[in-house]
Amino acid sequence: MTARVVTVAQQKGGAGKTTLAAHLAVAWAREGYKVGVVDIDPQASLTKWFAERARVKDAVPIELRCVGGWRVQSEVEKLARTVDLVVVDSPPHAETESKIAVRAADLVLIPAQPSPMDLWATKATIDLARSEKRAALVVLNRMPARGKLAEQMRGKYAELGAPVAEAVLGSRVAFAAALLEGVGISEHAPSSAAAQEMAALAAEIFRRLGPEQ
């Protein structure tokens, strides 16, 4: 059986791709799934987080592959044969590697913040997923808890033509604090609001992935 592949993609830098990839990977690994992460961003932030993680005592095991160029597809396929879930973190553009990563995905996660720049960039990433015939899910990140902006932005994103996850992530320093220590939020502060948000998102993504083929 091969793993489900979730690719985190968004042309805009700083939208939350690496944040999402790392915390989701840990959330799923802690539920008992074998998780592999693939870092195809030359900035290699996920790889740096992973190096930090090697020093964490009792960290739940996760596998990492850091690859670029023509090897992306074969590495994702190879890893997918040995784990239950593969999470791919991609660079902030839509060039060859990102396209390959989108093509390899069962679901493309698109983190997007409540800003016009993120909104405009998201359309391009949804179009990329559509051109590769892949399901996409927009994840609203750094959302204010309530208020008019949150509702307005959800509406604007929904108009782009991809589903918007019900679960949203607030702006929470704990997400960054955890990554700095090489852990996920579910390890760093398991009962925090941030961990609950990430767990709700992880569960929703699983529901949307549907049963294994």
Ligand X SMILES: Nc1ncnc2c1ncn2[C@@H]1O[C@H](COP(=O)(O)OP(=O)(O)O)[C@@H](O)[C@H]1O
DSSP string, the chain: ---EEEEE--SSTTSSHHHHHHHHHHHHHHTT--EEEEE--TT-HHHHHHHHHTTSTTPPP-EEEE--TTHHHHHHHHHHTTSSEEEEE--SS-SHHHHHHHHT-SEEEEEE-SSHHHHHHHHHHHHHHHHTT-EEEEEE-SB-SSSHHHHHHHHHHHTTTS-B-S---B--HHHHHHHHTT--HHHH-TTSHHHHHHHHHHHHHHHHH-S--
Instruction: Select 75 or 89, whichever has its Cβ closest to Mg ion.
Output: 89
Q: Which of the choices ligand X, Mg ion, none does residue 175 contact, using the CB cut-off of 5 to 8 A by kind?
A: ligand X
Instruction: Select 15 or 195, whichever has its Cβ closest to ligand X.
Output: 15
Instruction: Select 84 or 175, whichever has its Cβ closest to Mg ion.
Output: 175
Residues in the chain: 213
Binding mask 19-48 for Mg ion (x = CB under 5 A): --------------------------x---
- How many angstroms separate the CA atoms of 110 and 108, rounded? 6
Residues contributing to the site for ligand X (CB under 6 A): 10, 13-19, 45, 92, 141-142, 169, 171-173, 175-176
| Residue 186 in contact with Mg ion, rule: CB under 5 A | no
Instruction: Select 14 or 68, whichever has its Cβ closest to ligand X.
Output: 14
Q: Which residues in 38-97 contact Mg ion (CB under 5 A)?
A: 45
Q: Which of the choices Mg ion, ligand X, none does residue 68 contact, using the CB cut-off of 5 to 8 A by kind?
A: none
Shortest Cβ 82–ligand X spacing (Å): 25
Out of 11, 12, 15, 17, the residue judged to bind Mg ion by CB under 5 A: 17
Shortest Cβ 17–ligand X spacing (Å): 3
Catalog residues that contact Mg ion under the rule CB under 5 A. 17-18, 45
